[in-house]
Amino acid sequence: MNIVIIITRMDEIGGAQTHVRDVAIELVKDGNKVTLLCGYTGDLSKQLESKGVVVLRIESLVREISLYSDLKAYLDIKESIKNISPDLIALHSSKAGLLGRLAASSQKIPSVFTAHGWSFADGVPKVKKFIYKNIEKIAASYGDRIINVSECDRRLALKYKVGRESSHVTIHNGIKDLAVQSKRRKKKCDVIMLVMVARFCDQKDHDTLLRALSEIKNLSWNLMLVGGGERESEVRALSDSLGLSSRVEFMGVCENVSDILSRSDVFVLTSHWEGLPISIVEAMRVGLPVVASDVGGVEEQLKEKLSWGLVKRGDVGDLKSKLELLIEDDELRCQLGEESREVFFDGFRFEKMYRDICGVYRELVSN
């Protein structure tokens, strides 16, 4: 197959970006021709080029809404597609998803959009939710398939009449298992290492985590915050005001996330909304107990015994009590960590996700 993948940004490390990287590399390994169109390039796009993926930058494809830039991006994408003449166009991120589907439809090329968490999910500010809901309804009418990364997202899209029911499919995010299993520390430790891997942005709720930890200063814990973003300075200021600066380490954007996770004892993800977080899958892969906000598809990850780790969105008290128990109970941490690893192995490996995605691609191309 000759496949064009379009995404707005490849200059940051996020769930959608790593998903695109891993799937694109595997497609090339399987003998497909893959071209990536993106507005911003970076380390991830360089990784793709080193693996045989053709990367073309569409400079007009910017994150901000701009009538002039967006119209130019549409025309630039359309021209690129015309020159490449692909069998299929795979789209990621809202802006690229809209412009890419319009361009694909104009040239009668099948397209599939992967929604890495809808921008009109519960928890999104009302105005933004209204705008994106209507944009996605328009975009869906020009596409052929929508891949939802969680069943929760599929139901949400249908609730708001985004696309036909027959156009939707659910494929859970998956990642490759580590070639060599990291030796995560499981012994009793003097200081319990907590970790959260997330961008500092409106979607993530670092504030609730810090407020919960400020109420258990008497316990022995340290927190590592991995990621970058526009809210980092605000979160740093909150950490200082709560008297946590000596126990919270801001790690920045890191490429060795699996190594950091293997040095940790508990993974935390507090969010206002989610699709199906890859960071939780990464934590389960190394056998970490997980505590996370019960939003989006998180409950589909923390199932059965792991459902203990679900906390109500923005509930400081609930989060505090869960963390307090995990910090003090070595046996519970070990038990939940083992269950976490089993859930990853059974349901969130890359091979199953990739096989299901390729099935959607082949169906569209053959039709």
74-103 confidence digits (pLDDT tens) = 999 999 999 999 999 999 998 999 999 999
Q: What is the CA radius of gyration of the chain?
A: 21
3-state SS, residue 116: coil
Say what the pLDDT of residue 254 is: 87
Q: In what order do the strands lie in the sheet with 111-115?
A: 54-57, 33-40, 2-9, 88-92, 111-115, 145-148, 168-170
Domain 192-347 indexed as CATH 3.40.50.2000? yes
Contact in structure between 173 and 279 (CB atoms under 8 Å): no
How far apart are alpha carbons 15 and 198 in whole angstroms?
Answer: 10
| 336-352 tens-digit pLDDT | 999 999 999 999 999 99
Provide the strand spans (E) within the chain.
2-9, 33-40, 54-57, 88-92, 111-115, 145-148, 168-170, 192-197, 221-226, 248-252, 266-269, 290-293, 310-311
Structure token digits, residue 96: 């690229």
Tell me the two tokens of residue 47.
């990784």
* Residue 252, H or E segment: strand 248-252
Structure token digits, residue 145: 């398939």
Q: Give residue 124's pLDDT.
A: 85
- Give the span between the Cα atoms of 208 and 270, in whole angstroms: 7
- pTM of the entire structure? 0.86
What pLDDT, on a 0 to 100 scale, did the predictor assign at position 338? 93
> If you classify domain 2-176+349-366 with CATH, what class do you get?
alpha beta
**CA–CA separation, 45 vs 62, rounded Å?**
16
Q: Is pLDDT at 19 greater than 90 in this prediction? A: yes
Residue type at 250? Answer: F
- Are the CB atoms for 228 and 200 separated by under 8 Å? yes
Q: Which pair of tokens denotes residue 222? A: 């340290």
Angle at 123 (CA atoms; ends 282, 236), nearest 5 degrees: 65
- Domain parsing of the chain, residue ranges: 2-176+349-366, 192-347
| DSSP class of 251 | E
Instruction: Give the torsion sign (CA, 219, 222, 226, 230).
Output: positive
Nearest to 112 by CA among 153, 62, 148, 156: 148
Q: 178 to each of 13, 175, 287, 341, 349, how far by Cα in Å?
A: 19, 9, 12, 12, 10
The pLDDT of residue 128 is 87
154-208, pLDDT tens digit by residue? 999 999 999 999 999 999 999 999 866 555 555 567 899 999 999 999 999 999 9
Alpha carbons 37 and 195: distance in angstroms, whole number: 33
